[in-house]
Chains A and B, each alone.
Chain A
Amino acid sequence: EVQLLESGGGLVQPGGSLRLSCAASGFTFSNFAMSWVRQAPGRGLEWISSIGESGRTTKYTDSVKGRFTISRDNSKDTLYLQMNSLRADDTAVYHCALGGIFGHYDYWGQGALVTVSS
């Protein structure tokens, strides 16, 4: 059974940093691109970033370029999202998803809530 489990969310002040992790199981992690998608409270879904199978290829939405970094450790079956210079409008539930830039996400994690507030 495919499972994606996010961790690392929490409350952070504006300008602060946070690193999210997504532990994957039930499939060969290194064979699949992965992505992060977020959902602000009461709002719709927003694609944030995708990473290729090896980790060499990364893509970001414009609003997080230069602030967020996606990475993966295939030896640990884990996906990461390093978030720096956080802003209030980054407040959202962050989901990791199995799939890449073409938007076909077969599996999603339940999400990690990130709240940016002073």
Chain B
Amino acid sequence: QSALTQPPSASGSPGQSVTISCTGTSSDVGGYNYVSWYQQHPGKAPKLMIYEVNKRPSGVPDRFSGSKSGNTASLTVSGLQADDEADYYCNSYAGSNNLVFGGGTKLTVL
């Protein structure tokens, strides 16, 4: 049950785009279209941003998008805004009744 691999940090200037990767294996990310992404501000509960690789819950801006290629999923945030500064986590169903999270990426808006 190894955690998914995310870069510890990412950054971008307001208005720019940034992409955060989430790398797993063929047993999790590569094997299922059950990848979700969460945004977490300090001291707050996580908020669902993307589910099933590329679906956005209602209320999430279309500046947030998800994709997957092979064993790597990605979250792209376009038109960066100050409030996008937060920690971002991916997760993936890993079969055998198991769910794994990534270690998290701290996004800084410069």
A62 touches B97 (CB 8 A): no
Q: A89 contacts the other chain (Cβ, under 8 Å)?
A: no
Interface residue range, chain A: 20 to 34
Identify which of B10-18, B77-85, B86-94 touches chain A. Answer: B86-94
Task: Say whether, besides A103-B91, A104-B48, A105-B46, A47 and B99 are in contact (CB < 8 Å).
Answer: yes
Using Cβ atoms and an 8 Å threshold, which residues of chain A touch B93? Answer: 101-103
Selected contact of B99 from candidates A102, A106, A109, CB within 8 Å: A102
What is the minimal beta-carbon distance from A66 to any residue of chain B, in angstroms?
15
Q: B110 contacts the other chain (Cβ, under 8 Å)?
A: no
Q: A110 contacts the other chain (Cβ, under 8 Å)?
A: yes
Using Cβ atoms and an 8 Å threshold, which residues of chain B touch A26? Answer: none
Binding site for B on A (CB under 8 A): 37, 44-47, 50, 59, 61-62, 95, 101-106, 108-111
The 10 tightest CB contacts between A and B, nearest first, are A108-B45, A59-B97, A47-B99, A104-B51, A103-B91, A44-B104, A102-B34, A45-B101, A103-B99, A44-B103
Binding site for A on B (CB under 8 A): 1, 3, 34-36, 38, 40, 44-48, 51-52, 57, 89, 91-93, 97-104
